[in-house]
Amino acid sequence: TCPYIKKIMCFLTNKDCNLCILPFTEKEKDPKYWNAGAQMTLKNALTLQTLNKNKAENLILFLGDGMGVPTVTAARILKGQLSGQSGEETQLEMDKFPFVSLAKTYNTNAQVPDSAGTATAYLCGVKANEGTVGVSAAAVRSQCNTTEGNEVTSILRWAKDAGKSVGIVTTTRVNHATPSAAYAHSVDRDWYSDNEMPAEALQAGCKDIARQLFENIPNIDVIMGGGRKYMFPKNRSDVEYPGVAKHSGTRKDGRDLVQEWIDKTKDKKGHYVWNKKQLLSLNPNNVDYLLGLFEPGDLPYDLERNSETDPSLTEMVEVAIKILRKNPSGFYLLVEGGRIDHGHHEGKAKQALHEAVEMDRAIGRASLLTSIHDTLTIVTADHSHMFNFGGYTPRGNTIFGIDADQKPFTSILYGNGPGYKLVNGARENVSTIDYQENNYQAQAAVPLSMETHGGEDVAVFAKGPMAHLLHGVHEQNYIPHVMAYAGCIGQNREHCLSRSGTAGLHPVLSTIATLFTVTRLLC
């Protein structure tokens, strides 16, 4: 029934041809199909000429760590194939956003960036050096004495100061590079607790990132992710993995940051949870503050997640929004699909892409819980990876499949990484191994113990109030300035005085009008 694919794929992979997908459907042979689709898209595009200039009561940033454009495309195909489609024609939730732009990701001292310097850009509005969070480029990595005076605040702080509720949800440690730039000022992203800091830095007064999570911005409303061990005294056994030394507490100062948080919020409808059952048993209407730490370190990959004990990113996002949206002044929420990056670093494309699909599910859930009329939602990445897929694979080829050659190779390849392998002086013949296994390390051109980031621009998807301001190609630090302008927070407030209740009156025009009026009065 599928002779072309049968010859190229089924024989090589020793798989039943029933698993193959036809290269294309019959309707795609008719030009009317493509013309009708294009006309519908054109009709929808014309409606965008009426711009949404409402004030954004709510601001949501979805950050796919390491989710470069090739990852987005491959995740789209995977999402379709998981639902029985060929995949290429599928729409991700982020694909439905009406505005798309590109962000330049370089750090001030690095052509190819890291997640710390980029987080400072898209959260604090200024570019910074690699390895540093919440400090300007005047700060030098690992040099504690360059911290003071170089701190920069984040949009999460601006939102909190404006009376909004704020939240952080991540699949990594809550004190990892991305979330930490929202609240911390650290010249080293690796200072998770005081255990990871050099003695001279502690003596000079620098604080570890876990401590800053609870001290820098009082009353962050929702915090969910991993990183439990950095909150407890050194060698204290973990509640979920008792007796496992690598999961025990790390703090040398003896502080129990979780208990301190519980004591502070017990009379303010505060709840601490560490597993899925506890999380989903909460009634969001009875919760004002939530701390959820579900693992000692990062959360497990979605493919390896225990669905009975570990919440998914989608489940965490739903609870977060239901708590935050109770505030009549609105909310700011940072959501990180952080383990996309980890999968790529390990050369495990299947893990990375399933993480991206799960983040897309969370985007869809957030869309159902909010309104495009008053919620600005942005989806982007901090940087890309040396990940790509190619060859001359037929339509519907499994994204984790192979291309036919004298010696078959996987469609997915890395420019560098741990997947580099030679067998008898030649590249490995992947048709002899299980290349669809969850932890298969895709072939790489250059041998490295860990695959690296990529330096190309990343996509920025936007919908909701003022989303049209994200267009063309911009510096990455432009993103929080747009969000602040839309939400009338931070330094962008003057335009919000418009009687219409929209955010459409530009500050420049307002200033000119004021000057003109004053000039007339003086004359």
Binding site as annotated, residues: 65, 176, 178, 336, 341, 345, 382-383, 453
CA gap 502, 506 in Å, rounded: 11
Helix (H, G, I), strand (E, B) or coil at 507: helix
Longest alpha-carbon distance in the chain: 89
Q: What are phi and psi of 156, to 5 degrees?
A: -65, -40
Helix (H, G, I), strand (E, B) or coil at 229: helix
Burial of residue 309 (number of CB atoms within 10 Å: 0-12, 13-18, 19+)? middle
Closest Cα to residue 361, out of 305, 402, 288, 323? 305
- For 236, other C-beta atoms within 10 Å of its C-beta total 15
CA gap 228, 249 in Å, rounded: 8
Does residue 154 carry a catalytic annotation? no
- For 37, other C-beta atoms within 10 Å of its C-beta total 11
DSSP string for 295-358: SSSSPPPGGG--TTTS--HHHHHHHHHHHHTTSTT-EEEEEEETHHHHHHHTT-HHHHHHHHHH
> Which sign, positive or negative, has the C-alpha torsion 167, 172, 176, 178?
negative
- Among candidate residues 115, 142, 186, 367, the one labeled active-site is 115
Instruction: Give, for 462, the enclosing helix (H) or strand (E).
Output: strand 458-463
Query: Any idea what DSSP says for residue 365?
Result: H
Binding residues for Zn(2+): 65, 341, 345, 382-383, 453
CA gap 76, 92 in Å, rounded: 6
Residues 414-453 as b/e (b if ≥16 CB within 10 A, e otherwise) read: bebbbbbeeeeeeebebbeeebeeeebbbbbeeebeebbb
Return the active site residues.
115
